[in-house]
Chains A and B, each alone.
Chain A
Amino acid sequence: MTLTETQVPNGPAAAAILSAAIGCFALGLTTVAADKSKAVNKLMLFYPPSGALTGETTIAIVVWLVAWLILARLWRNSTRALGPINIASFVLLLCGLLLTFPPFVDAL
């Protein structure tokens, strides 16, 4: 960054990154919940021919978009410390990945 360049807020980008990770983690949670509980599985049948997958993914998408909306409003004109946000995002992503990996889910 040069001295003449003005500081640009990174809040909107940070909000987009963290909310995407939250959405992926939510997908992991809904996947495990539907796999482990018959009652939850039944609740996730938004479109029965596709099974619980439709509920799991719809809920995750809603969580992602709501988180994005909230964070984007909160961090609209601000500059955030990106280090902790990046770490939190990648931890959430990896946890989400693990929670959708069938051998791991079966072992829970």
Chain B
Amino acid sequence: MQLTTRELLTALHGMLFGGFFLMAIFGLVVELVRSRHTSTHIELTPRGRTIESWFLILMAAFGWLAVFTGTYVIYPWYRAKPPANTADLTAYPRYLLLSHPNTAAWHNLGMEWKEHIAFFATIAVTMLAFVLIRQRAALRQYPQLRNAVLGFALLALASCGVAAGFGAMVNKAAPVTGGNTITLIRSGQ
């Protein structure tokens, strides 16, 4: 069982950072919807507040890890320009996708949108973490504040879903490859 350093980092970016981020936002949306339909206010214990705060901080941190590794580590490999007269574009995903009309939209729509929209989710979730940790009392008092928080959470979920979905599909159509080979498990012959 082998993979390259670039494949490993791409997996960390998408499946660990991005995957956790997406699941965490989904959990947050479920919790926000649930809290709108409780008959009495449920007060967390100090321990419960601490756990909730750490969940929110980690959620935002994973979002930033996902967008920064994507922008500064994975994306340069994805958009690397092939030398002139290169026939095999496998190591140049962007150019591989653009070389055929049936795959060009994965870049022109998928990657072009994903690389930006992921930041929407991250900015929104950072704001949500701040409001949910530091403005709990205001959230209880102002229904319009709760509406805004839920609206932003839904938008973050949709944005992250678009980014994750296109990321997975683009990497399936033209995977980022290269780097040193890492052998995880060697089967006996």
Contacts and interface: CB of A to CB of B under 8 A. Distances in A.
A101 B71 contact: no
**Most chain A CB neighbours (cut-off 10 Å) among B67, B79, B135:** B135
B26 to A, nearest CB: 19
B141 A7 contact: yes
B23 interface: no
Interface string B128-171: 00110011011111101101110110010001000000000000
A19 B117 CA distance: 17
Interface stretch (B3-11, B83-91, B107-115): B107-115
**Size class of the contact patch on chain B:** 35 or more
Contact of A13 (B67, B113, B135): B135
Interface of A: 1, 5, 7-10, 12-14, 16-17, 19-20, 23-24, 27, 31, 47, 49-51, 53-54, 56-57, 60-61, 64, 82-83, 85-86, 89-90, 93, 96-97, 100-103
Q: What 5 A-B pairs come out closest when comparing CB atoms?
A: A49-B76, A82-B144, A20-B127, A100-B116, A13-B135
Interface of B: 67, 71-72, 75-76, 79-80, 108-109, 112-113, 115-117, 119-120, 123-124, 126-127, 130-131, 134-135, 137-142, 144-145, 147-149, 151-152, 155, 159
Given A10-B135, A53-B116, 13 more contacts: A8-B141, A10-B141, A16-B130, A17-B127, A27-B116, A51-B75, A53-B115, A57-B71, A57-B116, A57-B119, A82-B144, A102-B112, A102-B113
